[in-house]
Structure 1
């Protein structure tokens, strides 16, 4: 009986020809997507169907008529002499390596808040890439590019940026779900929750964080971040006492996980929550701990810690002048790096009735 030891896109495409089916009909016959069939035929031997799809193709070949099987065998024989020429050229692998290197540069650019160069690098790939033309490695890189593009827009933080970030994250989520990388999909859900919080939908964000704090697709560190961010959303919503309880749990987990930078961030969040309930002594203690423990190497981190510190100092008339100076410093840095969401937060603090 005719069989295929290892199906690639080439054999899958030749079977469609042997069955004399259109792409749409063939996709329905196998129970796969039209885009999947198109990808097989475009990439040939450089793509391999998933194991369960291999079995589906085995069954389709076994159930084909004798005539169709003969045509398939003939097509395989005709192609065997030219298969090397039909393979995608080796630069495709080189492109993957270059793409990976560019994404590593994007991560560095985002840490430095160099949004212009990051956008240029991302557009180099997103602007010329069609997902239907990519193998799984390419789809992975495409998904990562979408995520980083979403991060870029979220970090800038205007309402329009947040809408764009959500759209990019949603597309990336679809890609990682399709190529079956649940951890990446869950991380994107966490980023979507952050964008929801930044847009002011605090109850929805807290609910999403709660679900993700128990989601085993995520690492323990990511789950603990989700727990901390539950507290952040609650504090922004004025529920500071409950927020403090949640944040303390997160801080303890970060300590047990030996994540000093995350622990320092938790101290910063606790400081603001204690300010929210009017306990300035504890607020200053926590913010001093955060400032002395964290490295705060990126512009965004420095703006965030200075803004939090200023917010606490401004609350007390005795330290208001110092708070204004620290807030001006944070504002100048945020403006220099285009951190629009942080500038909005600083403006909100300045216009607060507490200080006017």
Structure 2
């Protein structure tokens, strides 16, 4: 753990504030008098603690948790001042990596509930914080993981084409993981790129990539099974519902063996749409009921996907079309609220087909 090169009263003040301690408690923690701490803070950068006190302050900083160290650095920047170029060009310290890792976990949790704004702020602060040229392999790995989360965010918002799209962001992450020789992460990014191709309407190409990844030893059994399920999804969207059903049935069995309830539920949702494509509405409704009854999360994205799939099936029967339209309206409202443009586009497409047919 690095120590501070030079302590003044200003740095001592920032450490006390970062630790969220009173002057008295801070003095007791350091083993000095209250008047000493008061003097440091009164004189600020004009006073320098004695060498043995510098060592005590070094220890207090080095043993603090990552959040305290992050607050310490932020407090050393004057309130209201933008970070200097040196701040962005500096190499990260150990506690930066700890905080960065924590923020990536928080960003993933935000994405799971479609809190795109906060997720973007957590990821963006680290992508802008360091010049990749200053990063060691640990930092480059975290940079690549940040790019993956940014790609996920862009994908979930429907930004899948163009220079600032999920496709381009994923490609940058893929190159970094390749350079770092992290094959599992690289394969996961390939899977995400195949999803983007499917979302872009390149169904045959996506299906071929899913098929290859379903047999790729770099991926975990769960990810290989997900790739297998998505082969069926691409085939179903392309009208090959009979073949898709066979593949999806196999994926459901595999998810059950792997004890992956969330994926198992999602697979039933996709299988329901494949049966709808064959005209077997009774079986489609049974599978969508299984998916609705077994969803373990109720994120806006999952709610929209389930409601859209359910509505699509209900709209195929005049007797249930009114309920289907209501569900479709609810899914559209949720998509608008959370900025899920790709989902909204799919909903509008389903509605358009229904209106033309009726």
TM superposition score normalised by structure 2: 0.73
Asked whether the equivalents of residues 153 and 162 of structure 1 are also in contact (C-alpha less than 8 Å), the reply is no
* Corresponding residue of 1:164: 165
Tell me how far apart the structure 2 counterparts of residues 284 and 327 of structure 1 sit (CA, whole Å): 16
Determine whether 1:242 maps to 2:273: no
Offset of 1:157 from its aligned partner? 0.8
In structure 2, the CA distance between the partners of 1:334 and 1:208, relative to structure 1 (3 Å rule), is: same
Tell me how far apart the structure 1 counterparts of residues 163 and 122 of structure 2 sit (CA, whole Å): 20
* Corresponding residue of 2:353: 352
Offset of 1:125 from its aligned partner? 1.2
After superposition, where does 1:1-356 map in structure 2 within 5 Å?
Answer: 92-160=93-161, 164-353=165-354, 355-356=357-358
Q: List per-residue Cα deviations over 1:324-353 (Å, max 9, x = no partner).
A: 111111111111111111000000000005
Tell me how far apart the structure 1 counterparts of residues 163 and 200 of structure 2 sit (CA, whole Å): 7
SS in 2 for 1:113: coil
Offset of 1:163 from its aligned partner? 6.2
Tell me how far apart the structure 2 counterparts of residues 341 and 163 of structure 1 sit (CA, whole Å): 16
Q: List per-residue Cα deviations over 1:118-150 (Å, max 9, x = no partner).
A: 111111111232222111110110000000000
SS in 2 for 1:170: helix
Q: List per-residue Cα deviations over 1:26-64 (Å, max 9, x = no partner).
A: xxxxxxxxxxxxxxxxxxxxxxxxxxxxxxxxxxxxxxx
Tell me how far apart the structure 2 counterparts of residues 136 and 158 of structure 1 sit (CA, whole Å): 29
SS in 2 for 1:325: helix
Query: What RMSD over aligned residues (CA atoms) do the two structures have, in Å?
Result: 1.6
In structure 2, the CA distance between the partners of 1:146 and 1:230, relative to structure 1 (3 Å rule), is: same
Tell me how far apart the structure 2 counterparts of residues 124 and 91 of structure 1 sit (CA, whole Å): 13
SS in 1 for 2:114: coil
Asked whether the equivalents of residues 162 and 195 of structure 1 are also in contact (C-alpha less than 8 Å), the reply is no
Offset of 1:162 from its aligned partner? 9.1
Tell me how far apart the structure 2 counterparts of residues 163 and 132 of structure 1 sit (CA, whole Å): 21
Offset of 1:296 from its aligned partner? 3.5
In structure 2, the CA distance between the partners of 1:178 and 1:295, relative to structure 1 (3 Å rule), is: same
Q: Unaligned 5+ residue runs, structure 2?
A: 1-89
Tell me how far apart the structure 1 counterparts of residues 164 and 357 of structure 2 sit (CA, whole Å): 32
In structure 2, the CA distance between the partners of 1:343 and 1:305, relative to structure 1 (3 Å rule), is: same
Tell me how far apart the structure 2 counterparts of residues 178 and 194 of structure 1 sit (CA, whole Å): 23
Asked whether the equivalents of residues 154 and 160 of structure 2 are also in contact (C-alpha less than 8 Å), the reply is no
Tell me how far apart the structure 2 counterparts of residues 308 and 322 of structure 1 sit (CA, whole Å): 13
In structure 2, the CA distance between the partners of 1:264 and 1:347, relative to structure 1 (3 Å rule), is: same
Tell me how far apart the structure 2 counterparts of residues 341 and 131 of structure 1 sit (CA, whole Å): 32
Asked whether the equivalents of residues 160 and 196 of structure 2 are also in contact (C-alpha less than 8 Å), the reply is no
Asked whether the equivalents of residues 114 and 338 of structure 2 are also in contact (C-alpha less than 8 Å), the reply is yes
Q: List per-residue Cα deviations over 1:89-146 (Å, max 9, x = no partner).
A: 9961011011111111110110111111111111111123222211111011000000
